[in-house]
Amino acid sequence: MRDQVPLSVHVVYLARLREAFGSAGESLRLTSEAGTTVADILDRLRCRGGPFATELAPGRAVRVAVNHAMAGPGDPVREGDEVAIFPPVTGG
């Protein structure tokens, strides 16, 4: 059994996600098993339902950066990290 570890991260929503969620960001407090990942954060947000479930649904195009570095689903998230969630950028 792994230890339960309290974790607080700052989540930032950018571009269309800011509009869909009605917020530019929030502090997210978790009590989770050691080894929390980007995927765990997305799952937690998705469980809220509504626009979170829609915009963060598996297969939807979103990107994540942890402390300004691009991150994948298995990348770790630690106490105090900034987790930015945003749609891919397209140019024109």
In a domain, residue 74? The reply is yes
In a domain, residue 59? The reply is yes
In a domain, residue 47? The reply is yes
Specify the pTM: 0.88
Burial (CB count <10 Å: 0-12, 13-18, 19+), residue 54: exposed
Which tens digit of pLDDT belongs to each residue from 2-57?
567 788 999 999 999 999 999 999 999 987 666 799 999 999 999 999 999 999 99
Range of the domain at 39: 21-83
In a domain, residue 42? The reply is yes
* CA-based nearest residue to 64, from 46, 86, 43: 86
**First and final C-alpha spacing in the chain:** 51
In a domain, residue 35? The reply is yes
- How many structural domains comprise the chain? 1
In a domain, residue 9? The reply is no
Residue that the structure tokens 């900034």 belong to = 82
In a domain, residue 29? The reply is yes
- Residue 63 near residue 88, CB atoms below 8 Å: yes
In a domain, residue 14? The reply is no
